[in-house]
Structure 1
């Protein structure tokens, strides 16, 4: 009797497993779970891509703002070191809008500089000279981007945008010191891109 009960239980178990395997509701449930999983994975990829794009754009805007601040500061000091100002009102307006703390300048207020002090600041080893200004701009991009090639490229574009915004603020071409600073900044960023395997000659054509 016990053996018959065991056999009966085994047969019942087999029938139940067979029924579950062929149950259309089970298949639909499994399929639905997989479909939901696929949707979630796709959504997470889209969200991640959108987040990364937003992050890169925000970085580029920060670079642009920092670069514009540096170029405007450099140009202001350059003009203060000159003998004549073609547009003193515009200079005053731009000086008032500068964020000198953001670029690390802790010296005498620019409005109070003498002509000789201004010339010293834009000299070869001066805070607003080509070497130090280009280093500040390029280092900001390189430090912020790390090994992320896309962020480096976006930062490079941000530097150019900042330069163009500075030109627009001044209403004309920036002086040679700012043009050379732009060139040196881009050279340093391009060197970093090259180190990461980017062919900058093809990229910048």
Structure 2
């Protein structure tokens, strides 16, 4: 997934972070109060203002991408679990409708088309060791956050929030609580990110949605 890919999920996520548009507006306001002939702001000051816009764009893109990655992953995992445990041996129209909106390759899956899965195919993917098993899925979601955020507390918390919001978004699309496999997955993924936050001495009390 392109970490700079911003789409309509931004509106769904309802993040409270300041957008790059807001920062750009603030920059314009700041510069409008400066007389360029008499005040002559330093190049460093202008560079700092501009860099804040670039940093915020990257920050926004990261949180949105985390949201999208988690939401799509949980919609797929929940759908496969339903195919495997449900009464239908193949994806019904509801599941097909959910899966048809997702770019499978964007989350790293390159196997058989998901909408064509039968019960056996789905079982192979969600069982222990399968691509969409609890452990492997939690690892991918947590690694998506950790590999970008590193030791940056702000990014770690933003990524944590993004994946939790993505989980809630998947439940909203699902129309009910996601299957147990997904409940266990988000719990494990959150634990992995929380472990990293603890390692850098971050306060976990304000790292929740």
Please report the TM-score for the alignment, with normalisation by the length of structure 2. Answer: 0.73
Aligned to 2:29: none
Q: Return the structure number with greater helix share.
A: 1
Report the counterpart of residue 134 of structure 2 in structure 1: 130
Q: Secondary structure at the match of 2:86?
A: coil
Structure 2: segments with no counterpart, 5+ residues: 1-35
Match among 145, 152, 155 for residue 151 of structure 1: 155
1:63 pairs with 2:66:
yes
Matches of 1:33 and 1:96 in 2, distance apart?
Answer: 58
The two structures, once aligned, show a CA RMSD in angstroms of: 2.3
Seen in structure 2, the aligned counterparts of structure 1 residues 203 and 106 have a Cα distance that, compared at 3 Å, is closer
For the 8 Å contact 2:160–2:207, the answer to whether it is kept is: no
Task: Work out which of the two has the higher radius of gyration on C-alpha atoms and give 1 or 2.
Answer: 1
Residues 180 and 66 of structure 1: is their aligned pair in 2 closer, same or farther, counting only changes over 3 Å?
same
1:195 is matched with which residue: 186, 193, 199? 199
Uncovered stretches (5+) of structure 1, i.e. residues with no partner? 1-31
C-alpha distance after superposition, 1:57-88 (max 9, x if no partner): 11000011111111011011101102325x93
Q: Deviations over 1:31-76 (max 9, x none)?
A: x9883135x5444333333332222111000011111111011011
How many residue pairs get aligned? The number is: 172
Query: Do the aligned residues in 1 keep the contact of 2:161 with 2:207 (CA within 8 Å)?
Result: no
Please report the TM-score for the alignment, with normalisation by the length of structure 1. Answer: 0.75
